Amino acid sequence: MPPILTDDEQVTLRRVAYGQSEVRAMRKEDLGRLRRLRLIEESKDGPRLTPEGKECFDLLPKAASLGSSGHYDELLEKLDSQSLPRRR
C-alpha cells in the first residue's frame, strides 16, 4: 500500500516526476519526506523518482480531460462574463 501524501507532497512528487521544476522551487519539507519514504532519490540532475516513487506517482489522481465535462465550458463562460469590455 502506498504512503498517504499530503496535497503539497503530491504536488512535489509530480514536479519531480515531470522534471520541470528546479529544486529551489520545491518545498524542502516535502522533498525531505519523499526521500525518507524512498519515493525520490538524488541524481546528478536533481531529484528523481525511485521505482516505488514511480508506482506512487502512477496511483495519483490525474487531471481530468478538458473535453470530458462541462466544467471547462462553465469556467470559460464565467471568465468571459467578468472580462473587460471588448473593443469594437
For the chain, the first-to-last Cα distance in angstroms comes to 59
Q: How many residues does the chain have?
A: 88
Q: Is the pLDDT of residue 88 over 70?
A: no
Q: For 2-19, what is the mean pLDDT?
A: 93
Q: Is the pLDDT of residue 65 over 50?
A: no
Q: Is the pLDDT of residue 71 over 50?
A: yes
